[in-house]
Amino acid sequence: MSKELLSENTSRRIYREEDRILKVFSGDFPKEEVFHEAFINARIEAVLGEMVPKVLSLNLRDGSWTLEKEYAKGRTLQELMEEEPSRKQEYLEKMLELQLQIQSHQVPVLEQLKDKMQRQINELGDIDDGTRYELLTRLAGMPRHEKLCHGDLRPSNIILDEAGAYHVIDWVHATKGNASADIARTYLILALDDKSMAEYYLELFCKQTGTKPSYVQDWLPVVAAAQLTKKRPEEMEELRSWLQICDHM
Amino acid sequence: MAAETARPVDSMEALSEKIARMRKAQARFALYSQEQVDRIFRAAALAANEARIPLAKMAVRETGMGVVEDKVIKNNYAAEYIYHQYKDEKTCGVIQEDRAFGYKVVAEPLGLIAAVIPTTNPTSTAIFKALIALKTRNAILISPHPRAKECTIEAARIVLEAAVKAGAPEEIIGWIDSPTLEMTNELMRESDCILATGGPGMVHAAYSSGKPALGVGAGNTPAIIDDTADIRMAVSSIIHSKTFDNGMICASEQSVTVLDPVYQAVRDEFEKRGCYFLKEDEMDKLRKTMMINGSLNAKIVGQPASAIAELAGFQVPKATRVLIGEVSSVEPSEAFAHEKLSPVLAMYRAENFDEAIAKAERLVADGGYGHTASLYVDLKEQEKLARFSEAMKTCRILINTPSSQGGIGDLYNFRLTPSLTLGCGSWGGNSVSDNVGIRNLLNYKKVAERRENMLWFRTPGKIYFKQGCMPVALEELRSYYNKKRCFVVTDSFLFENGFTRPIEEKLSEMGIQYTLFSDVQPDPTLANARAGVKVMESFKPDSIIAFGGGSAMDAAKIMWLLYEHPEAEFSEMSLRYIDIRKKIYTFPKMGEKCYFIAIPTSSGTGSEMTPFAVITDESTGVKYPITDYELMPDMAIVDTDNMMTQPRGLTAASGIDAMTHALEAYASMMASDYTDALAIKAMQEIFRYLPRAYEDGSDREARDHMANASALAGMAFANAFLGVCHSMAHKLGAYHHIPHGVANALLINYVLQFNANEKPPKMGTFPQYEYPHTLERYAEAARACGVKGEDDRKVLEAFLEKLTELKHAVGIKDSIRDYGIREEDFLATLDEMTEHAFDDQCTGANPRYPLMQEIREMYLMAYYGKPYHEMSEE
């Protein structure tokens, strides 16, 4: 059987083996997180059906946990957008459609987005107490909703298969929370790459759902703070500048 | 103790220990007298004022925002104005007392106040909140913002030290040394009340804590300069306000909308006074700098204009006071439309005043709901001022006033309460719309003693009596009142039999023109009354004589009412009430057109003495009982000559009716010494003379006494009202056409026993009615009528027998059934009668509040003539 290594980092390697994906975690990767990922995926499969590649098994092989999932064969929206820049907007519209469809569901067992963000802001090492206080205050004032949020929805996490069906992958950040917070998160991801794409996406969301842009924008400082916990050097400076806000008084 | 006090609050554990110690301190403080509190309040205010400059310097140094000199003013204001406002206000114990009404207000502290202090006004807000907490005997635990914690804590420490020195308990003021949001939230949850000054997030957190919160929110104050405004004053006021502490006051103007005719002049004045109008490219640069993804950039807050320009990447003269962007959009997508907490101002042009208001409304809706709005206008333009204040959904509407200084009160208007915490009402998601002060930090206990209501005794202005008095009394129509046209109301029986002739003769003799309306029907209808009014309208009388029994007098009262007030609305007028003084309907003034004389021809209804009338709407069948002292006759003439020919049946029925008037007025919750005397006398006379008048209609002495007894009973119930016997009799009469007096006679014995219950399921509600004492009252009445017995119960039994004997003596039968009412007809109407009897106006004065089931049961007992039994004892 041939195994193709798709990606690799210090905590896991991802292989493709025929129509399956094997996610092999490093030996010291916490067991609870492995099981958590499998559990979340299973819960979301149950709610969203075909859109989500299924978990097939979870095994301990040679001291490493291996998560076996369906392989969604096709091309990511990211790839498609790069190939056909003229159709970017069309793909973004499709992405929003999928995001709104996902948000129309509820998965009660998931972690509450606000709680997760609060934890992340408290974990941030390199911000001053005043900024942390402002961010947590801002977060405390935001609405607490129960919608299914992917938590990392981006063009590279959406796959269009040959049959024309879309699949959404990478559910490890899924939470229940406010739809605008999830949109803000996608906005941030898009903006780090291309601000105009992010603006277009936000405008589209606000138009389709009758949401005030400020309702989404109010989440941006806290979403940026949460993203900072990923410590990606190329994003740090930009994200830090997003935090310097003043809650009106 | 000292070591514990010094222990910093830097963890959740330390916080909870601090709260426990402060609660103990507050418990002691709660016992302080007004004198002690005022001494502490004064010492604390003095100390805070003393420290105004060091605290201001510290705040600017620590936060990097604002202007030292302006912060000095704020500190000074927080100490001086707050002290001045409240120094003489009572906040301890009984603060208000009204002995006559038995009403006291007692002020009590809330307990532990959680105070959240912002970075923009750290020291002044801390001083303000600490002082109002001290004045109200509360403990206050301050949660500073991490960016301003040193100066906030220092301000609190200075106030605390002075307070303790003046005698306040140690630790009555406290603070979190290393603030985190987690500790702030815990403090809010553990407090008794939250004074949260801050942005929407903090206000929301406060309201989510589950504790009462006086949270206040953001402003986005729009200013309008009308074309009638004093431009120099307006422009300088706005600059003065906008530059104050570099624009950090939440009430500060964020935009100015100028009416087109004065736009250029206003612009020139701003420039002349040192403001800088941004060029297009500078506006774009500033937009990008001011806002980060739609949120205000913390770096520009409280900075001078030149520094903000530099941050945005352009230069302006160092002395620039305000950066002004001339913009057109009031939508949130325009960065200049937001609150900027800095000397940056948006300027709009409006074609007319309406457009200016529309812009201001939109700006308020974007982040400024409930806060402050301002208008510069010539005060002659009150109509504009009214339109503006109507349109603004803000709790402070300031006219010709710099809003930073104006909003906090007592500086530019001396009725606006000084405060550094400005409530934004429900529009701003707040529980208060006032400038927050000591009243928000006190619980007011109202101590209310039981008081009896004022009672009254009202009768016709003139009552004439004695056989043969009528012509003498009528003489006054000419001699005293100079009346010329009299309208006489009577029924056809009296007219056709010539009983009205003495009146007619007297009127003719006096030269008074008169018209006689003799069509009054029994149970008169509205149509009946309107027919009379029609005659009155063409005849235009100046006096009315009602001559007859209850029907003629009722009909005449209604004609009187409709003649004087054709607009009278009977459904409103007849609405059930609890207290005749508090009726929703205000009765129109009577007597403007006609003087009203009542002359009874039967001895029973007492209508000549009462302000009551009943009229039936023939189209709906609804009976309207009208009660108001305006309907009281002006004169009553009780002349036995008019009563000599009453038929026996009428003598019996109306005589027993008068007896129930006396009995019910005596037992009424509203009975008084005045009505008691009349009721007793009436009962005595009726027992004695009714059988004689019944046996021999020509017994002049008996007729005379009965005429007076009826009038006395009338006066008694005109003031004490009746009870459930009449309620039930009204409906029995209406449904089964039993004469009113007979209906009362059939029910009264049951009602007496019903009311005499000493443990009724429900008693009536009236302050002078203290406990169910009706048995005692009936026994009193009975003894006055010569009944004897070993105790009240026995006396009542004998009294009931005496009543039964009286009824038998005048030919009253024993049961409703005996009057030929068929059982199935009676039972078919029973539930409806019961409900209507319960809802009858007379029920309200009954000493026992009847349940509908009890009324129903009494009806059944009376129908079959069964002995009384008490449902509540089954």
**CATH code at position B349:** 3.40.309.10
Contact status, residue A188 vs residue A223, Cβ threshold 8 Å: yes
Nearest by CB to B199, which of A212, A242, A247? A247
d(CA B587, CA B628): 7
Nearest by CB to B294, which of A128, A137, A213? A213
Question: Closest Cα of chain A to B163: distance in Å?
Answer: 29
B35-39, B199-203, B224-228, B751-755: the lowest-pLDDT one = B199-203
Are B487 and B605 members of one domain? yes
Are B117 and B84 members of one domain? yes
d(CA B379, CA B382): 6
- Interval A172-182: pLDDT, tens: 999 999 999 99
Strand arrangement, sheet containing A55-61: A4-8, A12-17, A20-25, A64-70, A55-61
Least Cα distance to B668 among B629, B703, B631, B719 occurs for: B719
Nearest by CB to A141, which of B145, B205, B294? B205
Least Cα distance to B617 among B553, B530, B525, B552 occurs for: B525
* Residue B329 forms contact with A (CB below 8 Å): no
Question: In chain A, what residues touch B178 (CB-CB under 8 Å)?
Answer: 129
- Interval B590-622: pLDDT, tens: 999 999 999 999 999 999 999 999 898 898 888
CA B42 to chain centre: 37
- The HSE-up count of residue B339 (CA atoms within 13 Å, CB side) is 29
Domain assignment present for residue B447? The answer is: no
pLDDT of residue A248: 58
pLDDT of residue B3: 42
Q: DSSP states of B153-214 as a string?
A: HHHHHHHHHHHHHTTPPTTSEEE-SS--HHHHHHHHHHSSEEEEBS-HHHHHHHHHTTS-B-
**Residue A247 to residue B202, Cβ atoms within 8 A:** yes
Least Cα distance to B850 among B774, B798, B741 occurs for: B774
Q: What is the CATH number of the domain that holds B698?
A: 1.20.1090.10
Options B92, B151, B250, B842, the catalytic residue: B250
Q: What is the CATH number of the domain that holds B191?
A: 3.40.605.10
- Interval B678-726: pLDDT, tens: 999 999 999 999 999 999 999 999 999 999 999 999 999 999 999 999 9
Are B625 and B667 members of one domain? no
**φ and ψ at residue B316, rounded to 5 degrees:** -135, 160
Nearest by CB to A130, which of B146, B203, B339? B146
pLDDT of residue B208: 85
Task: Kindly identify which residue of chain A lies nearest to residue B421, measuring between CA atoms.
Answer: A249
Sequence-ordered list of residues with C-beta below 8 angstroms from that of A204, at least 6 positions apart, any chain:
A92, A93, A96
Domain assignment present for residue B9? The answer is: no
User: How many beta-carbon pairs under 8 angstroms link A with B?
Assistant: 105
Classified as helix, coil or strand, B550 is helix
List the domain range (segments joined by +) for residue B743.
648-874
d(CA B658, CA B808): 16
**Residue A248 to residue B204, Cβ atoms within 8 A:** no
* Residue B64 forms contact with A (CB below 8 Å): no
Distance of CA B792 to CAs A34, B663, B672, B773, B797, Å? 90, 16, 21, 11, 9
For residue B76, is pLDDT > 60? yes
Express as a percent the part of chain B with pLDDT over 70: 99
B433-447, B619-633, B648-662, B807-821: the lowest-pLDDT one = B619-633
For residue A249, is pLDDT > 60? no
Which helix or strand (DSSP H or E) is residue B306 part of?
helix B305-312
Are B466 and B602 members of one domain? yes
* Residue B65 forms contact with A (CB below 8 Å): no
Contact status, residue B218 vs residue A249, Cβ threshold 8 Å: yes
**φ and ψ at residue B93, rounded to 5 degrees:** 65, -140
B250 is catalytic: yes
Domain assignment present for residue B748? The answer is: yes
Classified as helix, coil or strand, B362 is helix
pLDDT of residue A3: 85
- The HSE-up count of residue A49 (CA atoms within 13 Å, CB side) is 4
* Residue A152 forms contact with B (CB below 8 Å): no
Q: Which alpha helices (H) appear in A18-103, and where do they start and end? A: 31-48, 77-83, 88-103
* Residue A195 forms contact with B (CB below 8 Å): no
Are B523 and B375 members of one domain? no
- Interval B492-545: pLDDT, tens: 999 999 999 999 999 999 999 999 999 999 889 999 999 999 999 999 999 999
**Residue A244 to residue B181, Cβ atoms within 8 A:** no
Classified as helix, coil or strand, B231 is helix
Q: How much is the average pLDDT of B659-666?
A: 98
- Crossing angle of helices B12-29 and B181-190, rounded to 10°: 30
Q: DSSP states of B798-849 as a string?
A: HHHHHHHHHHHHTT--S-SGGGT--HHHHHHHHHHHHHHHHTSGGGGG-SB-
Sequence ranges of the domains in chain A: 4-70, 74-243
Question: In chain B, what residues touch A227 (CB-CB under 8 Å)?
Answer: none
d(CA A47, CA A107): 8
- Interval B102-118: pLDDT, tens: 999 999 999 999 999 99
Q: How much is the average pLDDT of B762-772?
A: 94
**Residue A244 to residue B293, Cβ atoms within 8 A:** no
Least Cα distance to B838 among B720, B717, B728, B722 occurs for: B728
Classified as helix, coil or strand, A84 is coil
Q: Does domain A4-70 have CATH number 3.30.200.20?
A: yes
* Residue A237 forms contact with B (CB below 8 Å): no
**Residue A133 to residue B185, Cβ atoms within 8 A:** no
A 47-106 residues with CB below 8 A of B?
Answer: none
pLDDT of residue B4: 47
Distance of CA B475 to CAs B123, B480, B543, Å? 86, 8, 13
- Interval B315-356: pLDDT, tens: 999 999 999 999 999 998 899 999 999 999 999 999 999 999
Are B147 and B240 members of one domain? no
Q: Is B4 exposed, middle or buried (0-12, 13-18, 19+ CB in 10 A)?
A: exposed
SS3 content of chain B, % helix, strand, coil (to 5): 50, 15, 35
Domain assignment present for residue B441? The answer is: no
**φ and ψ at residue A125, rounded to 5 degrees:** -85, -40
Q: How much is the average pLDDT of A212-224?
A: 93
Do the domains A4-70 and A74-243 sit in the same CATH topology, yes or no?
Answer: no
Name the more confident of B485 and B214. Answer: B485
Q: How much is the average pLDDT of B734-756?
A: 96
CA A22 to chain centre: 20
Are B81 and B226 members of one domain? no
Distance of CA B753 to CAs B243, B661, B869, Å? 83, 16, 9
Q: How much is the average pLDDT of B152-177?
A: 98
What is the torsion angle, in degrees rounded to the nearest 10, for the CA atoms of residue B92, residue B93, residue B95 and residue B98? 180
Strand arrangement, sheet containing B295-297: A245-246, B295-297, B291-292
Question: In chain A, what residues touch B245 (CB-CB under 8 Å)?
Answer: none
pLDDT of residue B453: 85
pLDDT of residue B367: 83
For residue A2, is pLDDT > 80? no
d(CA B293, CA B675): 81
ipTM, two decimals: 0.86
Question: In chain A, what residues touch B202 (CB-CB under 8 Å)?
Answer: 137, 140-141, 247
Least Cα distance to B194 among B297, B85, B113 occurs for: B113
Are B613 and B717 members of one domain? no
Q: DSSP states of B725-746 as a string?
A: HHHHHHHHHHHH---HHHHHHH
Nearest by CB to B298, which of A129, A137, A246? A246
Nearest by CB to B205, which of A134, A137, A217? A137
pLDDT of residue A223: 94
d(CA B219, CA B427): 11
pLDDT of residue A153: 96
DSSP state of B442: E
- Interval B356-403: pLDDT, tens: 999 999 999 988 899 999 999 999 999 999 999 999 999 999 999 999
Q: How much is the average pLDDT of B425-450?
A: 93
Number of folded domains that form chain B? 4
d(CA B323, CA B416): 30
**Among the four given CATH numbers 3.90.1300.10, 3.90.1200.10, 1.10.3720.10, 3.40.50.300, the one describing domain A74-243:** 3.90.1200.10
Q: Is A62 exposed, middle or buried (0-12, 13-18, 19+ CB in 10 A)?
A: exposed
Which amino acid is residue B768, in one-letter code?
Q
d(CA B123, CA B62): 11
The residue with tokens 């004439």 is B464
Beta bridge partners of B625: B614
Classified as helix, coil or strand, A20 is strand
Domain assignment present for residue B7? The answer is: no
Distance of CA A57 to CAs A2, A170, B160, B397, Å? 19, 16, 65, 67
d(CA A151, CA A129): 26
The residue with tokens 């009416």 is B259
Are B405 and B506 members of one domain? no
Q: How much is the average pLDDT of B833-862?
A: 97
Express as a percent the part of chain B with pLDDT over 90: 90
Are B385 and B465 members of one domain? no
Task: Kindly identify which residue of chain A lies nearest to residue B219, measuring between CA atoms.
Answer: A249
Reduced 3-state DSSP string for B607-661 = HHHCCEEEEEECCCCEEEEEECHHHCCCEEEECHHHCCCCCHHHHHHHHHHHHHH
* Residue B145 forms contact with A (CB below 8 Å): yes
* Residue B198 forms contact with A (CB below 8 Å): yes
Which amino acid is residue B767, in one-letter code?
P
pLDDT of residue B5: 52
* Residue B293 forms contact with A (CB below 8 Å): yes
Are B628 and B658 members of one domain? no
* Residue A128 forms contact with B (CB below 8 Å): yes
Question: In chain B, what residues touch A130 (CB-CB under 8 Å)?
Answer: 119, 145-147
Are B475 and B550 members of one domain? yes
